[in-house]
Structure 1
Amino acid sequence: MKNIICICCPTGCHLSVDETKGFAVSGNLCKRGEIYGKQEIQDPRRIVTSTVAVKGGRYSRCPVKTSGTIPKGMMFDAMKTLDNIIIKAPIKTGQTIIKDICGSQVDFIATQTIDAR
């Protein structure tokens, strides 16, 4: 039995997930909590946020995030893909910075518009 706190809404239900009973979830007040509890134990996933270097822009770094969730075990490999990335301004919010991170079918996208200097 694993105990986790649901992050699907502000309620923050205290979930218990019993792996011996087919990942039965208890403590949830809604269906989203049940789905989250099973997912978090079987295949935990995360949104990754970071920054990348910018050349010729008003700012020297641009915030980026994954366009969807990636497996938790892939987070550090995903971050490594950003290490040597330098993007040229101008950059638009939502612009794809890196496609298909580590074969995950998820992209890194810009979360801020940065104009050229």
Structure 2
Amino acid sequence: MSELTCIVCPRGCLLKVMEGTAGYLVTGNACPRGVPYAVREMTDPRRMVTSSARIEGAVHRRLPVKTSKDIPKGLVLRVCEEIGRLVVQAPVEAGDVIIRDVLGTGSDVIASRTMERVP
């Protein structure tokens, strides 16, 4: 049996998940959204990545970035390594794609902030 804290809504239910022959049995959820969350967390855990990349020609030296959607949990460190190798050139608009389809995940790394070019 595994225990998870549900993060789908603000309630933060303590979910108990047991694997059976017919799938997963989830208890402790106050709303129906906890069941799919628990099953997905047990079968295919995913995470959003937020980080910062180096930027040249801007007032700040770091550009906040994030993935456009969640990625497999096992690839989080590799995605962070890819971001760490970047040197972005200003100007950048919030939402600009910095790395398209990072590591073949189907998720882009996008800028979280606009940074103008400075002399």
* Greater displacement, 50-59 / 14-23: 14-23
Specify the alignment match of 2:3 in structure 1: 3
Letter of the 1:3 counterpart? E
TM-score, normalised by the number of residues in structure 2: 0.94
Specify the alignment match of 1:112 in structure 2: 113
Specify the alignment match of 2:45 in structure 1: 44
SS in 2 for 1:19: strand
SS in 2 for 1:109: strand
TM-score, normalised by the number of residues in structure 1: 0.96
Question: How far apart are the structure 2 equivalents of 1:111 and 1:82?
Answer: 13
> CA RMSD, aligned part only?
0.9
Question: How far apart are the structure 1 equivalents of 2:95 and 2:33?
Answer: 27
After the TM superposition, which segments of 4 or more aligned residues of structure 1 sit over 6 Å from their partners? none
Question: How far apart are the structure 1 equivalents of 2:84 and 2:3?
Answer: 35
Question: How far apart are the structure 2 equivalents of 1:77 and 1:102?
Answer: 8
State percent identity of aligned pairs: 41
Letter of the 1:53 counterpart? R
SS in 1 for 2:33: helix
SS in 2 for 1:80: helix
Specify the alignment match of 1:31 in structure 2: 32
Question: How far apart are the structure 2 equivalents of 1:33 and 1:40?
Answer: 10
Question: How far apart are the structure 1 equivalents of 2:103 and 2:25?
Answer: 32
